[in-house]
């Protein structure tokens, strides 16, 4: 067990599946008091029982600031503080019309921004008010390699990429401004990870064939646990002198 996290009150936004759920379970195993904020209930994976993990789940639409504020205040009222925020909420806007800029619909643009960057602002806005009073706290946001590099025809969702770039910028701005208040903020940029969101890529022979070039370290998708371990480092005292960093967990995608 990582004693650094024992008893730490941790909110994981978007923690019902994928990277968020893997992170929530890992932190709970390390003794953190984990609260998942998500519009959906967590789903059991194969051969696991979520009852084995001490997780609290609050059903929240993270695109609605009033709901976010209410949930955050509920956590403060119940636990007395918030030590860590892991913001993993977000997703693709393809179903609403996200795509290359000249094809992206207005609805696709606005809904993708709501889901990805607006949700991060709403929850950071609410939680930082408490962290400023506490004079300490840790924020780890989940961005994407597409926030760092352009996507070609297989990854041309420009509203999504814009959001992920904005998450990097906002997190680094938080890191700079709140450092004197002993609040750290860092970003993780995953590559292609085997989550429900990447189902399209997982079942695309073309993208599968490209993995040896995109992610040459393994020639395969990463796992949610790969990202969760990075979040564990950035949330723990092992990174106590680290803030404003952008950590890629991408199998070599952005190093080339």
Cα dihedral sign for 186, 251, 236, 53? positive
φ/ψ of 13, rounded to 5, equals: -85, 140
Question: Contact, 168 vs 148, CB < 8 A?
Answer: yes
| Distance in angstroms (rounded) separating the CA atoms of residues 200 and 212 | 18
Instruction: Please pick, among 160, 177, 178, 233, the residue that the annotation labels catalytic.
Output: 160
**Closest of 71, 77, 88 to residue 35, by C-alpha:** 71
Which residues are within 8 A (CB) of 106 and not within 5 positions of it... i.e. 6 or more apart?
none
**Terminal Cα distance for the chain, rounded:** 36
Nearest to 196 by CA among 109, 113, 51, 88: 88
Whether the Cβ atoms of residue 47 and residue 104 lie closer than 8 Å to each other: no
**Catalytic status, residue 160:** yes
Nearest to 206 by CA among 151, 256, 154: 154
- Cα-only R_g, the chain: 17
Q: Which residue in the block uniquely carries the two structure tokens 């119940």?
A: 78
Which residues belong to the active site? 160
């Amino acid at each position: 067990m990582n004693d650094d996290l024992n008893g730490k009150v941790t909110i994981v936004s978007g923690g019902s599946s994928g990277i968020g759920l893997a992170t929530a379970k890992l932190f709970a195993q390390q003794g953190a008091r984990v609260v998942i904020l998500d519009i959906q209930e967590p789903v059991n994976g194969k051969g696991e029982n979520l009852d084995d993990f001490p997780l609290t789940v609050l059903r929240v639409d993270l695109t609605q600031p009033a709901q976010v504020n209410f949930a955050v205040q509920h956590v403060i009222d119940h636990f007395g503080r918030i030590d860590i925020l892991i913001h993993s909420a977000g997703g693709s806007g393809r179903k609403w019309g996200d795509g290359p800029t000249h094809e992206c619909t207005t609805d696709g643009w606005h809904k993708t921004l709501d889901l990805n960057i607006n949700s991060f602002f709403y929850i950071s806005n609410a939680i930082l008010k408490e962290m400023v009073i506490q004079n300490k706290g840790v924020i780890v946001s989940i961005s994407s390699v597409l926030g760092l590099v352009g996507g070609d025809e297989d990854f041309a969702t420009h509203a999504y990429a814009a959001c992920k770039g904005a998450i990097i910028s906002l997190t680094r701005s938080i890191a700079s401004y709140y450092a004197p208040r002993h609040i750290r903020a860092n970003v993780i940029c995953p590559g292609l990870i085997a989550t429900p969101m990447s189902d399209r890529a997982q079942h695309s022979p073309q993208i599968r064939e490209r993995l040896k070039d995109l992610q040459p370290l393994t020639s395969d998708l990463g796992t949610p646990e790969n990202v969760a371990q990075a979040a564990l480092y950035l949330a723990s005292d092992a990174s106590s002198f680290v803030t404003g960093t952008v950590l890629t967990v991408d199998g070599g995608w952005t190093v080339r």
